[in-house]
Amino acid sequence: MKKLFSVFLCLSIVACSSSTIISTNDKDAKILVDGQLYGQGTVTYMDTKIIGSTTMVQIKKEGCEDRTYVMSRSEQFQVGPCIGGVFVLVPFLWVMGYNPQHHFDFECQKR
């Protein structure tokens, strides 16, 4: 019984995460998510925020105006948390996730 509970708990935690690939057309532009630098050009982002949460994405490049975008954790239905929610209501808080990819066009506008 303990092993079954442990497996169910692990699957529930993994099912509550959502990931997306964030990319921009400028490979030298830095990508920041909620103020934290993730990389340049194309990055993978994953979190366990609940449904309806927002995530700020900033695209920055030296000498250019910064661009800010918002992603919402309500873009795509997730089956795993829905199944878990049938047994325990709490996973329903993660029933929506991000789209698999987000592409943001970045054109340098001088400061």
Confidence check: pLDDT of 34 > 80: yes
pLDDT at 66: 96
Give tens-digit pLDDT for 79-90.
776 677 666 666
More confident residue, 5 or 24: 24
Residues in Cβ contact with 29 at an 8 Å cutoff, skipping those fewer than 6 apart? 40, 41, 59, 60, 61, 64, 106
Global pTM exceeds 0.75: yes
Residue 93: the pLDDT is 75
Whole-number percent of the chain with pLDDT over 70? 77
Is residue 20 a contact partner of residue 99, using CB atoms and an 8 Å limit? yes
